[in-house]
Structure 1
Amino acid sequence: MTPGPENAPGFWLDTPEHRTWLAEDARKQFAFFRTALRPEGGFHTLEWNGTPRPDPLQELHCTTRMIHSYALAELCGVGGAEMVEHGMRYLAEGHRDGEGWAWGVEGQTPVDRRRMGYGHVFVLLAASSAHLAGHEDAPALIDAATEVLEQHFWEDGPGLIGPDFGPDWQPLDAYRGMNANMHGAEALMAAFEATGREDYLEKAGSILWFFLGLKAPAYGYRIPEHYFTDWTVDAEHDGDPMFRPAGTTPGHSLEFARLLLQHWDLAGRPDSGAPETARKLVERALADGWAEAGGLHYTVSLGGAPLLRDRYWWPVTEGIGALASLIKLERREEDEIWYRKLWSFAAEHFIDHERGGWYPGLDAAGQPTETQFKGKPDIYHALQATLYPLAPGLSRQGTTLPAL
């Protein structure tokens, strides 16, 4: 099943065949993940066939991403209000743990009470998207998440999101990271779109400037992931293989490039050099990350050598989003070649055309496998890969979303 007319001249974004294919994949994803609703609260992680996995643990970023994704379903006209309401209730009754939200919950009981910046920014994203979709509790959740982020996570000096905390709000360690900040920029821009408050856009800009205006050029447009307390680069860090792997992550460079263009657009497209920076990030990430057999290596060194060669679905989705943004700004043939290559690889290797959803990883032969990620871990990344190309602008929020 091809995602577009294979040998057609021009750009797939301009063809009804490709746009129809994108809309159909989005609808299949929405249909597949609706079965994740857990009657007693929250959401199941699903096996490849759509049955619930037995693990009772629900992590904060998974709950919030489901809320966000089905808020997009509501905005696209295919119905997501029930899923949003279910997730919002679970945030309040399951994850809410005093001042802040617990990272891991089983049933109604927090079992991992860490206060993670990565998780808290997704609370803000979920609240902002739910607000755009009309949920009555969303404005209060935006305010609550903003207050916690500003009081505990935001560091005024560097203008960045800082450490993670234990349940007593004592820092867990000296680590500072790029990943929470990248998704922080995403959430802050969503909050700006939901509320119109300029301070959200300013904070997102501060994050983008540090990582993309200062750090990326100093490292050949690779973005260091890990930092010491004073925000100098920790080039030797090798921690959690999912959230803190050694090296730099091409998928994050692609994601950051798209977010930079979104911020530039929301800010009125100033003469800031953002499109040029985004292009350099995309070109470097694809040159470093593309594997000989296709797909993107998970991590590379700060010099560009492959480190973790596992090929996951989400870096491909982020490449699609970044390239779609570049193509919307300027029709370049080299971008179209990469856009078609990524979609064609995804359609052949990652997408479950029969049941919906995307497989999380590939083995050496290019067949679906489970290594770091089990089941079909979420709808968030793959859904956005289908919606960004369909949206007329550089944002996925509000009235810019397509009707499916």
Structure 2
Amino acid sequence: MAALPRPGSPAYLRAEGDRLLAFARNARLPDWGFGWLDSQGTPLADDTVHTYVTARMTHVFALAALLGHPWAADYADHGIAALTGPLHDDRHDGWHTATDRSGRPLADEKSAYPHVFVVLAAAGAAMAGRPGAAELLTHALEVVEQRFREPGSGLLRERWDRSWRSLDGYRGGNSNMHAIEALLAAGDATGDPQLAAQALRIADQLVNSTARQAEWRIVEHFDQDWSPLWRYHEERPADPFRPFGSTVGHGIEWSRLLVQLHTALPDAPDWLLPAALELFGRAERDGWSADGHQGFVYTVDWTGTPVVRARLHWVLAEAVGAAAVLHRATGDPHYRQRYDTWWQWAEDHLVDRDAGSWHHELDVAGRPASTVKTGKADVYHAFQATLLPGLRTAPSLAAALIPARTP
């Protein structure tokens, strides 16, 4: 067996990206949408089609199409068909959180999180020239604007009932962070500068104000007035979407998004890049080997003490991507050193050379685990980690890939 290229090197990134895409293709369901994959790469047999998983896989396949993979356009089209078809609520508008494989809704709710991923998927597919994607993007942006974005704060509300009559009082940082990513991609796809301005409003409130006051730890949970809920889910800290405390990986992810936001703004405020460095530094100090074992802990409390010590694959994937982006922005060798260290750790512990993709969770001893989530839901985070180091920093990954298609 030939020796692997050095982890994180261009040859390694190309090979790993192709390997992840081969695994991802298993998620295609026969009729429509993409399934949640188990640890062996088979869609779970629970009959559920999650909108956010389908949207994230559609985004990945749109990026693959932009990379020139000849099969990928058909997979992106398969996702667009699901998002314009069974996953869309034709009665009340917007998107179901999940359905069974016959298209029957499985929850009486409309949540911001899957909606912003619909925007992301449509934006990337539109930039890849996929039919119906531009129309889907226009519609998804309208729903997010009319139903989720608060007129006053510019932040996204979290959850309605299915018919848009009852609004939950909880407000979440996670969906707003992913809204930054989606809005930047939509801005690249449409040329509308107001979308980046909307993203800046979200970042200004949740990072420049709230995270700054929390010693650069990302605050995840809020009440309807956007006051932090410091003890939210303290009794069930490993909740897969709303864990207690601060999520280390979100501090890292935000740091990268702030640099991308900076590139989208002709008059970017001077706090963006320093804030990105602060967020990355705080997450690195709080999370990396914080309990005496290598790897990033999942969450910490408001003093930086580890709470959930599981090692989630997406945190490491975001860390190598952010380290590459920050090294490119600053030239500081610290980020390059961390990049090399973390890619080696990913290869040694997370990359699953036997069953494919990455182990999505490890316990403290480095053994595969499933206390937070089961299986290998999608390749969104890991695949992006193979792209970010080799691309120019642009508002969106799709936009950064487009020059590669130019003869």
TM-score where L is the length of structure 1: 0.93
Q: Deviations over 1:330-381 (max 9, x none)?
A: 2222112211121111111111234431111112321222222222111100
Which residue among 88, 91, 103 is the counterpart of 2:97?
A: 103
Residue of structure 2 equivalent to 1:8:
none
Deviation at 1:172, TM superposition (A): 4.7
Deviation at 1:92, TM superposition (A): 2.0
Residue of structure 2 equivalent to 1:27:
18
Deviation at 1:42, TM superposition (A): 1.3
Which residue among 203, 208, 213 is the counterpart of 2:208?
A: 213
Q: Is 236-245 or 142-151 further displaced after alignment?
A: 236-245
Is residue 81 of structure 2 the alignment partner of residue 89 of structure 1? Answer: yes
Q: Is 286-295 or 378-387 further displaced after alignment?
A: 286-295
Q: Quick one: which amino acid aligns to residue 241 of structure 2?
A: F
Contact 2:77 2:131 survives alignment (8 Å): no
Q: Is 279-288 or 294-303 further displaced after alignment?
A: 294-303
Which residue among 259, 262, 265 is the counterpart of 1:261?
A: 259
Contact 2:66 2:401 survives alignment (8 Å): no
Contact 2:325 2:389 survives alignment (8 Å): yes
Instruction: Give me the whole-angstrom Cα distance separating, in 2, the residues matched to 1:270 and 1:231.
Output: 25
Residue of structure 1 equivalent to 2:346:
346
Residue of structure 1 equivalent to 2:385:
385
Instruction: Give me the whole-angstrom Cα distance separating, in 2, the residues matched to 1:47 and 1:373.
Output: 10
Map 1:264-343 onto structure 2 (within 5 A): 264-268=262-266, 270=268, 272-291=270-289, 292-343=292-343
Contact 2:113 2:158 survives alignment (8 Å): no
Q: Quick one: which amino acid aligns to residue 96 of structure 2?
A: A
Instruction: Give me the whole-angstrom Cα distance separating, in 1, the residues matched to 2:30 and 2:380.
Output: 21
Instruction: Give me the whole-angstrom Cα distance separating, in 2, the residues matched to 1:332 and 1:136.
Output: 42
Contact 1:131 1:139 survives alignment (8 Å): yes
Is residue 152 of structure 2 the alignment partner of residue 157 of structure 1? Answer: yes
Deviation at 1:143, TM superposition (A): 1.3
Map 1:219-230 onto structure 2 (within 5 A): 219-230=214-225
Q: Is 310-319 or 78-87 further displaced after alignment?
A: 78-87
Which residue among 170, 188, 195 is the counterpart of 1:175?
A: 170
Deviation at 1:180, TM superposition (A): 0.7
Residue ranges of structure 1 left out of the alignment (5+ in a row) = 6-11, 13-17
Query: CA separation of 1:2/1:271 partners in 2, compared to 1, >3 Å: closer, same or farther?
Result: farther
Deviant stretches of 4+, over 4 Å: 401-404
- SS at 1:58 equivalent: strand
Instruction: Give me the whole-angstrom Cα distance separating, in 2, the residues matched to 1:323 and 1:86.
Output: 33
Q: Is 363-372 or 28-37 further displaced after alignment?
A: 363-372
Is residue 52 of structure 2 the alignment partner of residue 61 of structure 1? Answer: yes
- SS at 1:368 equivalent: coil
Query: CA separation of 1:72/1:212 partners in 2, compared to 1, >3 Å: closer, same or farther?
Result: same
- SS at 1:94 equivalent: coil
Q: Quick one: which amino acid aligns to residue 193 of structure 1?
A: D
Q: Quick one: which amino acid aligns to residue 225 of structure 2?
A: D
Residue of structure 2 equivalent to 1:15:
none
Contact 1:100 1:148 survives alignment (8 Å): yes
Q: Quick one: which amino acid aligns to residue 91 of structure 1?
A: L
- SS at 2:321 equivalent: helix
Deviation at 1:54, TM superposition (A): 1.0
Deviation at 1:128, TM superposition (A): 0.4
Q: Quick one: which amino acid aligns to residue 32 of structure 1?
A: F
Q: Quick one: which amino acid aligns to residue 103 of structure 1?
A: T
Instruction: Give me the whole-angstrom Cα distance separating, in 1, the residues matched to 2:152 and 2:351.
Output: 44
Q: Quick one: which amino acid aligns to residue 342 of structure 2?
A: L
Contact 1:2 1:347 survives alignment (8 Å): no
Q: Deviations over 1:77-109 (max 9, x none)?
A: 113111111111111221111311100111122
TM-score where L is the length of structure 2: 0.92
How many residue pairs get matched?
A: 393
Deviation at 1:158, TM superposition (A): 1.0
Q: Deviations over 1:14-48 (max 9, x none)?
A: xxxx1010010000111111121111221222222
- SS at 2:49 equivalent: strand
Residue of structure 2 equivalent to 1:250:
248
Q: Deviations over 1:243-276 (max 9, x none)?
A: 1111011100110111110010111363513221
Q: Quick one: which amino acid aligns to residue 398 of structure 2?
A: Q
Instruction: Give me the whole-angstrom Cα distance separating, in 1, the residues matched to 2:402 and 2:320.
Output: 17
Contact 1:28 1:355 survives alignment (8 Å): no
Q: Quick one: which amino acid aligns to residue 277 of structure 1?
A: A
Residue of structure 2 equivalent to 1:372:
372
Q: Is 235-244 or 279-288 further displaced after alignment?
A: 235-244
Contact 1:160 1:206 survives alignment (8 Å): yes
Q: Quick one: which amino acid aligns to residue 348 of structure 2?
A: E
Contact 2:299 2:309 survives alignment (8 Å): yes
Q: Is 39-48 or 26-35 further displaced after alignment?
A: 39-48
Deviation at 1:3, TM superposition (A): 5.9
Is residue 203 of structure 2 the alignment partner of residue 203 of structure 1? Answer: no
